[in-house]
Amino acid sequence: MSFFPQLPSAVATRQRRARLSPALRAYQYNLLAYKRTWRGSVTTTFLYPVLYLAAIGVGLGHLIDHGSNQAVGGVRYLWFLAPGLLAGTAMQIATNESTFPVMAGIKWLKTYLAMLAAPLEVTDVLYGHLAWILTRVALASGVFLAVMAAFHTVPSGWAVLAFPAAVLTGAAFAAPVMAFSATRETDQSFVVLYRFGIVPLFLFSGTFFPVAQLPGWLQVVARCTPLYQGVTLCRGLVLGHLGGWDALGHAGYLLAMLVGGVLAARVTYRRRLVQ
Amino acid sequence: MSQRPRGPSDSFRHGPLAVSTSDEGAGDSAGTAVQAQGLTKRFGEFTAVDAVDFDIEVGEAFGFLGANGAGKTSTMRMIACLSPISGGTLQVLGLDPMRDGPQIRSRIGLVPQDDTLDLELTVRDNLYLYGRYFGLPRKQLRERVEELLEFARLTERADQRVDPLSGGMRRRLTIARALVSSPSLVILDEPTTGLDPQARHLLWDRLYRLKREGVTLVITTHYMDEAEQLCDRLVVMDAGRIAAAGSPSELIEQWSTREVVELRFEPEGHQVHGERLADLAERVEVLPDRLLLYTDQGDATLDAVRSRGASPIAALVRRATLEDVFLHLTGRSLVD
């Protein structure tokens, strides 16, 4: 009995193989793996936005709106908060997905190594994973925007563009964090990254209150942070009060981070995976 | 064995797994699966593989024997196009690993030392997803996966997660996975390390079957019995160099006597007895717990030992094995 009875000729097989770009094959792995394990991420993707908007937006917002809402631009606090949370959530999900899963790819599950033993290249592995992370961000951002609409916090038609803006915010974090993760030996550094990077950014980049509330020098720092760009961009689009040049400036900043991150990740991935 | 259709100018004619290379310029290396000359791998100052030469013929099982750190895995990784070469030349399936890496990898199956399985996914999904890396069409792949499950005797576990599987099952799954693209060359890095005897024998059986199908096998191991069982030819590596090359029987013939007499005395007597009996054998080795006499006539040598009045506590005549060759060539001191 032969072990390979039904296979057509290798040449025909190879022609068919060429159809799917290699990076897409790496992406597909994540997609299929997610189909099997998606339940674990339901809370972060679907439940958190509802909880946050309900607790802080509606609950805390009620108190603020009864005082003076001049500080938040004269809109309801929930309107102010929601797009900020949208950008903040994009950042968090992007960072989550570009730290531990990258370590898993390299060390824990070694899925990257399995891909590299197949005919994939380092850049395929990188782009495939990055594309997958952005899919996760897009999924979460889409759900978040839908929840925002359900809370009646989407006054402007420009809000449609807040979706790509949120994904761009995620991308701006994902790429450099992937580059960083590929240089790490343990997941200890991820805890540090969260404690001293992501959490302060989340709290002080204009997500919950305008950066104008900060003392002078901190305002400058806050305006330079990447999440501030994402928050301002998303909020401006959702509320429809953003100037075109401002929007381009914020988007350009995020895009530069994405490109710089990808270039860095190409180097760190290759250094780590090809020895 | 069934015959799969093959192109008219097929250069690899050794089995149903053979892959047509007519469109890939196999050139004059038809019949040679891997060709290395002066192959070198350096990591900074450290030279892991030091200018080795070897040819691996299509359809043979070729072994790399060596202690940990001898350079086996580095050599494997270069052949599998996972690690760029630092010097010399290397051709795999007639192609250049530095230039044609993905093309070569699409035609080889790699069984790495560590199983790179996704523990959270099922056995079947692991096979299926790996097949997708090769861009295999879904329908064809699904059929292929069922065959491989059968081959690896994992059909009943197909829908279980990998996590709770035993080491032997995971190893079989990793081997099955490496076969998903019907490779003409399969590279196995220590395929049976850490497995129990039953699991090892089952794996060996599966590897025999592959060999019968005409698949070229490249195996690293530090188990001598595995090398003797599986390999047509092998090289013994030591400190990045090739210390000896040949078939298992050739190596034994060249580097050892036909038989070995093992004698056990009171431990403190081994050195003295070793000197007294030195002229009875081609070579005498004194170990802490026994004395080894290398000779072509084991029984006659043992008689001679007894006629000298030496009375060992235990005596054993056995055929020389690859292990004797290996220890002779690479020494008995611990490497790490």
Q: What is the pLDDT of residues B177-213, one digit of tens each?
A: 999 999 999 999 998 887 888 888 888 998 999 999 9
Question: What is the strand order of the sheet B241-246 is part of?
Answer: B108-111, B185-189, B216-221, B61-66, B233-238, B241-246
CA torsion, points B123, B129, B130, B134, in degrees to nearest 10? 150
pLDDT for B335 beyond 70: no
ipTM above 0.90, yes or no: no
* Residues in chain A closer than 8 A to B6 (CB atoms): 9
Q: Residue B336: what pLDDT?
A: 53
Residue from B2, B118, B206 whose CB has the most chain A CBs within 10 Å, to mutate: B118
Model pLDDT for residues B224-248, shown as the tens digit of each residue: 888 888 999 999 999 999 999 999 8
Closest B-chain CA to A34: B121
Give the start-to-end residue ranges of the domains of chain B: 27-247, 253-330
Residues in CB range of B139: below 8 A, 6 or more apart: none
CATH architecture observed for domain B27-247: 3-Layer(aba) Sandwich (3.40)
pLDDT for B30 beyond 90: no
Give the confidence band of B221 by pLDDT, cuts at 50, 70, 90.
confident
Residues 1-30 of A with CB under 8 A from B: 2-11, 13-14, 16-20, 22, 25-26, 28-29
* Residues in chain A closer than 8 A to B130 (CB atoms): 114, 118
Q: To which residue do tokens 């730290």 refer?
A: A99
Model pLDDT for residues A83-120, shown as the tens digit of each residue: 999 999 999 999 999 999 999 999 998 999 999 999 99
* Residues in chain B closer than 8 A to A270 (CB atoms): none
Of B106, B87, B108, B110, the closest CA to residue B34 belongs to B108
Contact of A40 with chain B, judged by CB distance below 8 Å, is answered with no
**What is the pLDDT averaged over residues B24-30?**
42
Q: Pick the residue with more confidence: B142 or A60?
A: B142
Q: Residue B272: what pLDDT?
A: 85
- A10, A29, A113 ranked by CB distance to B129: nearest: A29
Give the confidence band of B219 by pLDDT, cuts at 50, 70, 90.
very high
B109 pairs with which residues across the strands? B186
How big is the A-B interface in CB pairs under 8 Å? 124
**What is the pLDDT averaged over residues B250-257?**
87
Q: Residue B328: what pLDDT?
A: 85
Contact B135 A113 (CB under 8 A): no
Q: Residue A3: what pLDDT?
A: 47
Q: Residue A42: what pLDDT?
A: 77
pLDDT for B327 beyond 90: no
Closest B-chain CA to A1: B1
Q: Residue A15: what pLDDT?
A: 44
Which of the residue ranges A228-237, B71-80, B180-189, B283-292 would you say has the lowest mean pLDDT? B283-292
Give the start-to-end residue ranges of the domains of chain A: 22-273
What would the 3-class secondary structure string for B86-128 be?
Answer: CEEEEEECCECHHHHHHHHHCCEEEECCCCCCCCCCEHHHHHH
* Residues in chain A closer than 8 A to B120 (CB atoms): 33, 36-37, 109
Under-70 pLDDT residues of chain A? 1-20, 44, 68-69
**What is the pLDDT averaged over residues B80-90?**
95
Residue from A1, A9, A14, A24 whose CB has the most chain B CBs within 10 Å, to mutate: A14
Residue from A7, A120, A270, A274 whose CB has the most chain B CBs within 10 Å, to mutate: A7
Give, to the nearest 10 degrees, the angle between helix A77-103 and helix A162-181: 30
pLDDT for B326 beyond 90: no
Select the CATH number that applies to the domain covering B253-330 from these four: 3.40.50.2020, 3.30.70.100, 3.40.109.10, 3.40.190.10: 3.30.70.100
